[in-house]
Structure 1
């Protein structure tokens, strides 16, 4: 036989031997699929791995299947495809995809910790072990409904946004995967997501009272209080490092601030008390102010605090107990970020100049003033933060006979 030559068997129609360019001889069975009418080829094996008689027996069996209107090659392809799907399913669980997405896309982002927390607290426990190829729209809907019931509709939509990005990232590199997320799954409308919640005076007192009862993590009460007295965002305070402190100023670097600009906060006595002293187990000259990591059984400040969800649930539980014991209605759902908005509102109550209050929040005063006014307003900001601290102190210790909101 010469390369490319085909020899047909006289006993079994369609059974052939073909010589390849490499010199090897392969056996095969040619037939026409009775359903589609297409010519098909079923490989039976190489000469040497299989004898001509063995190949002929396989061809006879295939001929019988074709006579019964079956497609042996199609069934083989489907079996291989199913085996591939099973292999992919075993490897590509939701957890595996989230791990890869976090490593490739999330790490290093300013909001990276929030994305990881959303996955860890809401997604992985519910669908983490599922294969992404088995996910259905109903799985996502159930997930979002449970998050909504547990943490509110806004959190449900944040989880949806993070999962959508992860699944879109997976689709770019995976021909087999199609995201089950579709339009209409969101639990709120854009206007509804713009929060206006601030804490009333009695709610501030409840939060502070509950914080006094929390034993672990030890840094959590100081951390939560800093969100109000410094009007910071969650991660801005959580990642506070002593390298950012210089005398009576705290500079949050632009690399981890929302507007990408350095934000300088004068350290008032109230804030100084929350910063505290050097952790007993810290062997370095700098540390994370709010930390739970230990060395030799003592706090060492090596890593920033990150257990937000668990600690917040415990805080809410204690607040609920306080209000129930006093015969008051449950506290309306609230978030840590509401403290920042509350602080800004308290500055207005304290008659702080609106522009100075906005600068205390790190907001840029736009227009021509943004371009030409390079004065840092540190003295004005210090006065504003001290006014805020005084207002908080008055709320926590109202004058005799004064009514609280």
Structure 2
């Protein structure tokens, strides 16, 4: 045999062992069956053929000499020859099989849970609203589609999930979940050529006009909430937390994450890092507010989270579960009194209700907006550096007075009795 030449002879172990680097041995019995010795010294068996559909010459690797015998390679070559005779393309089929295997591996790795984990780490951690995004995933997405492969998701899967969220938590929450999942899937598409998001336009459950909530609680609804909280048997901190949302007109996480390090004397300063307008928000602490936040953990701590189920170590976070239980108590109260069910409401409605009560109490509109942490814009924002603490204190006291009147309407049960035998200052 001459180096570099293609030699013809039956491919046997003896002839294969005689090959030198660069030599190719073409089998006399099975056309296209060859053995070639690589520069590395290894001998590879293969089958060469021309694809009848495209006319392209193909090479199908059959294995390395030593891993399989010459006779085993011959059997594989005969099988490939039969496939080619049937107008099949063994190489293409092999490539397709590898692609499917790779896709299967990706599917096993890239579950919805895995994508959400990566998205949270890369995009959500550190955001002011990060906890809300994670909670939406935990409560509404992961239990329903978390174990599914992202490559198997269909539009109908997303629609079914959103319908379930709408039924359980309302259409607004369904649209929030949709927005969060859309962002996560769009993020995945930027780094995954194989993934196409199943989310399309038209999946929202509300219109933009509907999402701009205007819901405020009526006096009867406020009394029902307070009464239900007095009958509460869940986490002890929850009634104080819910009441603080109205008394201090705060957003959910602003109260939930209240830490004693934010309290100094009769002032509560919510730091800019966790306030919506990214500015410190100072709330004068009224006696009513003080009764809600004046709590100490049983363990020895120098500082703590005021609303906590872990003895002050961590802030309260079981919002969804607790809200469901609160709604059940309210429904029970109304049913016992033969009144219609309370319309769907959210914790944030308490903040909006507090602002409305300030208007009823004739609080100056600018002072009321400052109590909510809203910035008075224009030139005044630039030049007016007065803190308005006395005015804000008076506004919060007016709110507490209005709330006392609601909880103690003329001719009805006293506010103290409505509040479980406590004074109104312990609202």
Aligned to 1:287: 304
Deviation of 1:5 after TM superposition, in Å, equals 5.2
Deviation of 1:41 after TM superposition, in Å, equals 1.9
Aligned to 2:402: 391
Superposition pairs of residues 167-246 of structure 1, within 5 angstroms: 167-246=185-264
- Aligned pair in 2 of structure 1 residues 398, 33: CA closer, same or farther (>3 Å)? same
- Aligned pair in 2 of structure 1 residues 4, 268: CA closer, same or farther (>3 Å)? farther
Task: Verify: 1:305 aligned to 2:323, yes or no.
Answer: no
* Whole-Å separation in 2 of the counterparts to 1:256 and 1:23: 66
Deviation of 1:78 after TM superposition, in Å, equals 2.0
Aligned to 1:255: 273
The structure number with the bigger radius of gyration is: 2
Deviation of 1:6 after TM superposition, in Å, equals 4.0
Aligned to 1:320: 331
* Whole-Å separation in 2 of the counterparts to 1:271 and 1:386: 9
TM-score, normalized by length of structure 2? 0.89
The superposition leaves residues 293-327 of structure 1 with CA deviations (integer Å, 9 ceiling, x where unpaired) of 1xxxxxx2000000000000000011111111111
Aligned to 1:368: 379
Aligned to 2:390: 379
Deviation of 1:142 after TM superposition, in Å, equals 0.4
Task: Verify: 1:330 aligned to 2:348, yes or no.
Answer: no
- Could you tell me which runs of 5 or more consecutive residues in structure 1 were left unpaired when the two chains were aligned: 294-299
Q: What RMSD over aligned residues (CA atoms) do the two structures have, in Å?
A: 1.6
* Whole-Å separation in 2 of the counterparts to 1:87 and 1:207: 51
* Whole-Å separation in 2 of the counterparts to 1:395 and 1:87: 62
- Could you tell me which runs of 5 or more consecutive residues in structure 2 were left unpaired when the two chains were aligned: 5-20, 414-427
* Whole-Å separation in 2 of the counterparts to 1:42 and 1:390: 86
Stretch of structure 1 that moved more, 257-266 or 45-54: 45-54
Aligned to 1:297: none
Deviation of 1:175 after TM superposition, in Å, equals 2.5
Aligned counterpart for 1:400 among listed residues 399, 411, 419: 411
Aligned to 1:96: 114
Aligned to 2:16: none
Aligned to 1:30: 48
Aligned positions, number: 395
Deviation of 1:178 after TM superposition, in Å, equals 1.6
* Whole-Å separation in 1 of the counterparts to 2:77 and 2:105: 30
Deviation of 1:229 after TM superposition, in Å, equals 0.5
Stretch of structure 1 that moved more, 373-382 or 68-77: 68-77
* Whole-Å separation in 1 of the counterparts to 2:43 and 2:312: 70
Deviation of 1:238 after TM superposition, in Å, equals 0.2
- Aligned pair in 2 of structure 1 residues 142, 36: CA closer, same or farther (>3 Å)? farther
Aligned to 2:357: 346
* Whole-Å separation in 2 of the counterparts to 1:343 and 1:312: 19
Deviation of 1:4 after TM superposition, in Å, equals 5.4
Deviation of 1:265 after TM superposition, in Å, equals 0.3
Deviation of 1:133 after TM superposition, in Å, equals 1.4
The superposition leaves residues 147-203 of structure 1 with CA deviations (integer Å, 9 ceiling, x where unpaired) of 111111110110001111111222222222221111111111212110000001000
Aligned to 2:94: 76
* Whole-Å separation in 2 of the counterparts to 1:341 and 1:375: 25
Look up the SS of the partner of 1:144 in the other structure: helix
Deviation of 1:47 after TM superposition, in Å, equals 2.3
Aligned counterpart for 1:357 among listed residues 346, 355, 368: 368
Aligned to 1:296: none
* Whole-Å separation in 2 of the counterparts to 1:259 and 1:39: 67
